[in-house]
Structure 1
Amino acid sequence: MKLSLLVMAAPYASGGADSAWHYADAALALGHELSRVFFYDEGALNGTLSSVPPQDEGNRTERWAVLQQRSGCELILCIASALKRGMLDSTEAERYEQSGATIHPAFELGGLGLLVDASANSDRLITFGPG
């Protein structure tokens, strides 16, 4: 089964983002295809390059990056959600005359059209919210 995820939860604020990652990891272990993970609203914070969590909590951004390498799925940060949280790729950093990228290289910025595309081209789109 071809799956896509919508993550609207921040990485350390609730269990939503953790649940999304565990779901994706389990789905891959069962042989499902993970096509795209779209991070929207507070979920965009999952792709930040500047997060330095305590050693006993683990780096959730890096965990998504490892999952991306293993599965080949796209990790898309909603561009509007990311920009208003100060998260830029190198192109946007140059455009807004900032010193450099603030998103992890495994993540890409993209518009809501990619979420619509994920929904249309996957067997299931599973949503994980902040609650």
Structure 2
Amino acid sequence: MSTLTYTLVVNGPLYGTQSARSAYQFARALIQKGHTLVSVFFYQDGVTNGTSLSVPANDEFDLAKAWQNLAQEHGVSLETCVAASLRRGILSEKEATQHCVFKDNLADGFVQTGLGSLAEAMLTQDRIIQF
């Protein structure tokens, strides 16, 4: 079996639809099969996966924390689209300072990038899968 490199594009929000959770489960499965997940690009409402302000109930799956653990364990880049993030109130420290906003709220392990990062992934990864 040959291994492939992947980038996932997540358009679904942190909670409210199954999209982001399905992307996470797919990510775990492809890594388990020996493939390489290079990055996850969060776009549109998917950028809410990168908030540090989510506090799920104790008996609920903490998807934001799961993404962080996946990135840490497997060297996966978690990228939120900066324009989509700003529209939805998800700001890195740099963006908060630049826009004179009181506090940043981008979760640890996530970075804000532009669509150029996604375009580069499309040119360099074997597969791009959208959720």
Q: TM-score, normalised by structure 2?
A: 0.95
1:4-23 to 2 correspondence within 5 Å? 4-23=7-26
How far apart are 1:89 and its partner, in Å? Answer: 0.6
Residue aligning to 2:34: 31
Q: What do residues 74-113 of structure 1 show as CA deviations (whole Å, max 9, x unaligned)?
A: 1000001100111111111111112222010110000001
State how far apart, in whole Å, the 1-side matches of 2:17 and 2:68 are.
20
State how far apart, in whole Å, the 2-side matches of 1:117 and 1:76 are.
13
RMSD of the alignment, in Å?
A: 0.8
Moved over 4 A (4+): none
Aligned with residue 93 of structure 2, among 90, 102, 117: 90
Aligned with residue 109 of structure 2, among 101, 106, 110: 106
Aligned residues: 128
How far apart are 1:120 and its partner, in Å? Answer: 0.8
Q: TM-score, normalised by structure 1?
A: 0.95
State how far apart, in whole Å, the 1-side matches of 2:44 and 2:125 are.
22
Q: What do residues 31-84 of structure 1 show as CA deviations (whole Å, max 9, x unaligned)?
A: 110011000000000000001111111211110000001111110000011001
Q: Percent identity over the alignment? A: 37
1:54 aligns with 2:57: yes
Q: Give unpaired runs (5+ residues) of structure 2.
A: none
Q: Give unpaired runs (5+ residues) of structure 1.
A: none
